[in-house]
Amino acid sequence: MKKTMIALTLVVASLIGENPIYAEQKTSYSNPILAGFYPDPSICRVGENFYLVTSTFAYFPGIPVFQSRDLVNWKLIGHVMDRAEQMNLEGLGVSEGIFAPAIRFHDGLFYVTCTLVGGGGNYVVIARDPAGPWSNPSWLPQINGIDPSLFFDDNGKAYIVYNSIAPEDKPLYEGHRTIRMYEFDYKNLKVIGEEIILVNGGTDISKKPIWIEGPHIFRKDDYYYLMCAEGGTSWEHSEVVFRSENVAGPYIPYEKNPILTQRHLDPNRPNPVTCTGHADLVMTKSGDWWAVFLGCRPYLPEYEGFFNTGRETFMAPVKWIDGWPVINPESGTVQYSYPLPLELENADEVVTPYSGNFQITDNFDAESLDPNWVFLRTPHTKWYSLSDHPGSLAIQLRPETCSGKSNPSFIGRRQQHLRGSTSTAMNFMPATETEKAGLLVFQNETHYYYLCKSLEKGQAVVQLFKSDTLLISQKIGKGRDIQMKIIAEGAYYSFYYATKPNKWILLKDQVDARFLSTRVAGGFVGCMYALYATSSGKPSSAVAYFDWFEYVGNDEIYINTK
């Protein structure tokens, strides 16, 4: 197999130098700090280092752990749930699985609490090194709810707070929930004592607030602060705060809640950030406070509410005003750029970028897969190899498909920009019409586009599927090699192929990307680009070899913000 690209393995391309935002990188940073499907962020600081985790739902490995020394440049150092024995995702929908992890540090140990929706429920895992290994889950069956978060008090006690059902399981309205708490025995990893309801309904139950969730407790000066998301994770999403002189309450809501939302803003404003909420706070060594939270970037205003990049991680400054934390107080609008929280000289070198415009190429010439690749559900057998044909990623065709709820031959990376391209070079010779391999852009089991090579009546073809529906098929020659490309342009995808290196042929353009948006497809995830091979329910011994994978993201927002 011939390499058709210059050898670059996960490097920042010259695109960065072309964008004015990076000319001022010494004084500012760009949002989102983690672009693409990185929702429900939680953060903690240990000494000079910050650690951040996010939800992963039905993708494996679960719960990425990012490390930074400046809150801006992040490095993926491992995953919390990276062993099959820790997390079985078999049979779960894409938007089930890992919900809202929270990371905390106490007395030499890191703790992550989380919910495995559709699986074992709530649990806690521990590690001395945040890069791993992490323990197997200690399950918490007494917690009936989601979004658990630990709080370690100054007196040696610990508590776990979480979202739960309405009192006596008798909701007064749709979305009526509570925030509850147990004391937590962190040495034996179990709850103790009686359950306490801290918040019933939300900030003002007379107004029927919905989906109070994502709680975190902080202590500052004379008060305990309870911060929660409210309003659901879509357009009405917000962050609210309560405080009390006692960890068990009563908690009084801030009269100027919410402390973060974008729901009141004109949806036709330029470059909107929407759905903001599910926040966590961190304090720097100098005493400054910052918030990480999820947000979404829709397409242009005429496509209000449609996005394929999922819920992303943003960051904004926090000011304490009259004893209350307020996120982004200088502007009601979440900005795409803020002054740096810390000096960049403290930062590690960026190996894989997660913010701004960038290009990434993987030539599959390492001994193991880059940790940014993920699988759809937990793989229980190894059906891929980097050593069978050195310099290529070999993927076995198996009967499982991405429209099922098992683990297909699917290796994916997040779509991190509204505009950009993804391409690959593949060596594959199908033997039957059920054998297909190629490039997938995937939202969930019923919403995806698949650009693949296969057979029709004995003739090699390149095909484009909209989920299980064939949109177009084009006959190609008898060669084994083919290149494939998907170009994203906001509300549209275009699909290309090449049987000669980089001689691209348009297969179909202006394909509706809104079909893969959360608004149409539902759920809580964002789109993944995946190298995917299947024998469509039939046994097969075929193997597809991928020579390289390239991702280019170039959103105009990062040019226009400066």
pLDDT at site 300: 66
Helices then strands, each counted (H, E), the chain:
4, 39
Using an 8 Å Cβ cutoff, are 338 and 355 in contact?
no
Average model confidence (pLDDT) across the chain: 92
pLDDT at site 557: 79
Active-site residue flag, 40:
yes
Active-site residue flag, 348:
no
CATH number at 37-346 = 2.115.10.20
Mind listing the pLDDT tens digit for each residue in 534-553?
999 999 999 999 999 999 99
Using an 8 Å Cβ cutoff, are 456 and 473 in contact?
yes
Tokens of 80: 């919390």
What pLDDT band is residue 25 in, cutting at 50, 70 and 90? low
Q: With b meaning 16 or more CB within 10 Å and e meaning fewer, what string describes 362-396?
A: bbbeeeeebebbbbbbbbeeebbebeeeeebbbbb
Length of the chain measured in residues: 562
pLDDT at site 301: 63
Using an 8 Å Cβ cutoff, are 56 and 390 in contact?
no
Tokens of 489: 């342009």
Identity of the residue numbered 224: Y
Mind listing the pLDDT tens digit for each residue in 100-142?
999 999 999 999 999 999 999 999 999 999 999 999 999 999 9
The DSSP secondary structure of 492-507, one letter per residue, reads EEEEEEESSTT--EEE
What pLDDT band is residue 345 in, cutting at 50, 70 and 90? low
Using an 8 Å Cβ cutoff, are 437 and 532 in contact?
yes
Over residues 20-36, the mean pLDDT reads 74
Distance between CA atoms of 61 and 375, rounded to whole angstroms?
Answer: 7
Over residues 272-282, the mean pLDDT reads 96
Tokens of 555: 């959103």
Q: Which of 40, 96, 183, 239 is catalytic?
A: 40
Q: Which of 96, 213, 400, 435 is catalytic?
A: 213
The DSSP secondary structure of 266-293, one letter per residue, reads -TTSSS--EEEEEEEEEE-TTS-EEEEE
Mind listing the pLDDT tens digit for each residue in 407-450?
999 999 999 999 999 999 999 999 999 999 999 999 999 999 99
What pLDDT band is residue 11 in, cutting at 50, 70 and 90? very low
> Is pTM beyond 0.75 here?
yes
Identity of the residue numbered 110: F
Q: Which of 506, 521, 552 is nearest to 442 (CA)?
A: 521
In 9-141, where do the E strands start and end? 28-30, 42-46, 49-53, 59-60, 62-68, 75-81, 97-106, 109-117, 121-127, 138-139
Asked whether the predicted pLDDT for residue 471 surpasses 70, the reply is: yes
Q: Do domains 37-346 and 359-560 have the same CATH topology?
A: no
CATH number at 359-560 = 2.60.120.200
SS3 336: coil
Q: Which of 325, 318, 328, 413 is nearest to 369 (CA)?
A: 413
Can you give the residue ranges of every domain in the chain? 37-346, 359-560
